[in-house]
């Protein structure tokens, strides 16, 4: 952790130099970026290992990044956020540029608001919060259980409680819904995020997702999703943007959801890769396949549960397994948070724990209703750099 303090100290001591905040341009790749800002490509890309090279593909349009220059306009450091937890740190040391993935430091706040519905949940949340994300999350959470169109009356209310991440005063990343409540003709309907990271209704029945639990039947998870992970042997920060299922070579892999195949070929460290595009901006990826099933090719429509290929070890892989990824609008998300585990019903101890959680959530929902809690916009402070405070605790 000493390392972080060194970086912080470095940043602060150089604070007289200018820190610029930019947004990642549309269609700009990491390589194009290096070229445009005149950073050397060899040490910052070609000399990296495959994992780090793949990480650089995670840069997304519109993301805020920082550049620190010296008095002559030379770049001293750059911070490029890859997701909400990990960022690329480019820095100059003894006249050479170095590359390292490091964690992003952020704080999480639990926020809540209530809204009276005059038009539709989507419209009124947008109007009250100005956040498309919040409106979409709320509507999507009830998609499979309720019909807003027919059963909402003017004057029905809704409450949303969620976690929002902040980086130096700026909200970033997707909010995580904890409770959603909507009245329909005054009757309350709920969805709760349980301690097992899945969503349930009032009765403890899981809210149905749209994907299959596992794209490989009976397979064991050998590696979980992580936006940042410290590799104890390599002593570096990495990410694992999917879930690995260990299975015997040749085991069938099925489509986790219905959709159109948009890629079925070899792709670098992914090996034999299939990408399927689903509704609502979702995409699933199946990597390291031994082979594709006959007829599986770009443009073909597949149904949930249909075999698309077979477990193998092609690409960068140490043994036969399926590397499974879920993306929404290009961003990797944890598949285990979205998949449907044959619609789980909570029982026994876990049901008891859920009921306790549910009742405390209901209390806060009703308190927010009573107080008509307004959405509060956090004032945006113009921060120069998120490494500003050397006292920031390292993770
Ligand atoms: Zn993997």
Least Cα distance to 123 among 112, 108, 134 occurs for 134
Q: Are 68 and 78 a contacting pair, CB within 8 Å?
A: yes
Q: Are 370 and 362 a contacting pair, CB within 8 Å?
A: no
Taking the C-alpha atoms of residue 325 and residue 332, their distance in angstroms, rounded to an integer, is 7
Say how many Å lie between the CA of residue 26 and the centre of ligand 1.
Answer: 28
Q: What angle do CA 5, 9, 14 make, to 5 degrees?
A: 155
The structure tokens listed for 95 are 């006249």
Say how many Å lie between the CA of residue 220 and the centre of ligand 1.
Answer: 13
Please write the tens of the pLDDT for every residue from 44-89.
999 999 889 989 988 988 888 999 998 888 999 999 999 888 999 9
Please write the tens of the pLDDT for every residue from 339-391.
654 456 888 999 999 999 999 999 999 999 999 999 987 655 544 443 433 33
Q: What angle do CA 19, 105, 66 make, to 5 degrees?
A: 20
Q: Which pTM was predicted? A: 0.62
198 contacts: CB under 8 Å, gap ≥ 6? 206, 207, 337, 341, 344
SS (H, E, C) 123-152: HHHHHHHCCHHHHHHHHHHCCCCCCHHHHC
pLDDT the model gives residue 389: 33
Taking the C-alpha atoms of residue 6 and residue 16, their distance in angstroms, rounded to an integer, is 17
Q: Are 239 and 83 a contacting pair, CB within 8 Å?
A: yes
DSSP 345: B
Say how many Å lie between the CA of residue 38 and the centre of ligand 1.
Answer: 33
pLDDT the model gives residue 13: 46
Q: Does the pLDDT value for residue 15 go beyond 70? A: no
The structure tokens listed for 204 are 């403890």
pLDDT the model gives residue 18: 67
1-5, 102-106, 109-113: least confident range: 1-5
Please write the tens of the pLDDT for every residue from 150-194.
788 999 999 999 999 887 677 878 899 999 999 998 899 999 999
Say how many Å lie between the CA of residue 170 and the centre of ligand 1.
Answer: 31
370 contacts: CB under 8 Å, gap ≥ 6? none
pLDDT the model gives residue 390: 32
Taking the C-alpha atoms of residue 176 and residue 368, their distance in angstroms, rounded to an integer, is 18
Say how many Å lie between the CA of residue 211 and the centre of ligand 1.
Answer: 19
Taking the C-alpha atoms of residue 64 and residue 80, their distance in angstroms, rounded to an integer, is 8
Say how many Å lie between the CA of residue 189 and the centre of ligand 1.
Answer: 38
The structure tokens listed for 72 are 């002559």
């Amino acid at each position: 952790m000493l390392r972080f303090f060194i970086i912080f100290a470095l940043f602060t001591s150089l604070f007289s130099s200018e820190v610029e905040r930019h947004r990642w341009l549309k269609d700009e790749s990491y390589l194009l970026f290096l070229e445009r800002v005149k950073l050397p490509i060899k040490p910052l890309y070609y000399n990296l290992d495959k994992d780090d090279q793949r990480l650089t593909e995670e840069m997304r349009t519109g993301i805020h990044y920082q550049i620190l220059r010296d008095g002559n306009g030379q770049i001293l450091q750059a911070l490029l956020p890859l997701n909400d937890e990990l960022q690329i740190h480019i820095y100059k040391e003894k006249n050479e540029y170095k590359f390292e993935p490091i964690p992003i430091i952020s704080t999480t706040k639990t926020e809540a608001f209530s809204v009276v519905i005059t038009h539709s949940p989507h419209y009124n949340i947008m109007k009250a919060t100005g956040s498309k994300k919040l409106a979409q999350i709320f509507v999507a959470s009830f998609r499979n259980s309720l019909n807003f169109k027919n059963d909402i009356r003017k004057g029905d209310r809704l409450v949303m409680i969620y976690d929002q991440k902040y980086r130096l005063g700026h909200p970033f990343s997707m909010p995580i819904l904890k409770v959603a409540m909507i009245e329909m003709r005054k009757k309350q309907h709920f969805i709760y995020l349980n301690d097992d990271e899945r969503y349930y209704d009032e009765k403890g029945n899981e809210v149905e997702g749209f994907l299959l639990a596992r794209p490989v039947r009976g397979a064991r998870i050998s590696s979980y999703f992580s936006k940042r992970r410290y590799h104890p042997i390599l002593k570096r920060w990495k990410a694992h943007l999917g879930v690995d299922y260990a299975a015997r070579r040749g085991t069938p892999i099925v489509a986790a959801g219905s959709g159109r195949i948009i890629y079925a070929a070899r792709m670098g460290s992914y090996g034999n890769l299939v990408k399927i595009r689903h509704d609502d901006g979702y995409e699933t990826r199946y990597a390291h396949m031994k082979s594709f099933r006959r007829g599986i090719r770009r443009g073909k429509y597949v149904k949930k549960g249909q075999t698309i290929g077979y477990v193998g070890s092609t690409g960068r892989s140490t043994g036969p397994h399926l590397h499974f990824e879920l993306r929404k609008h290009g961003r990797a998300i944890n598949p285990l948070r979205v998949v449907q585990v044959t619609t789980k019903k909570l029982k026994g101890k876990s049901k008891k724990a859920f009921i306790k959680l549910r009742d405390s959530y209901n209390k806060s929902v009703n308190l927010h209703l009573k107080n008509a809690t307004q959405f509060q916009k956090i004032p945006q402070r113009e921060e120069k750099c998120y490494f500003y405070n050397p006292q920031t605790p390292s993770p």
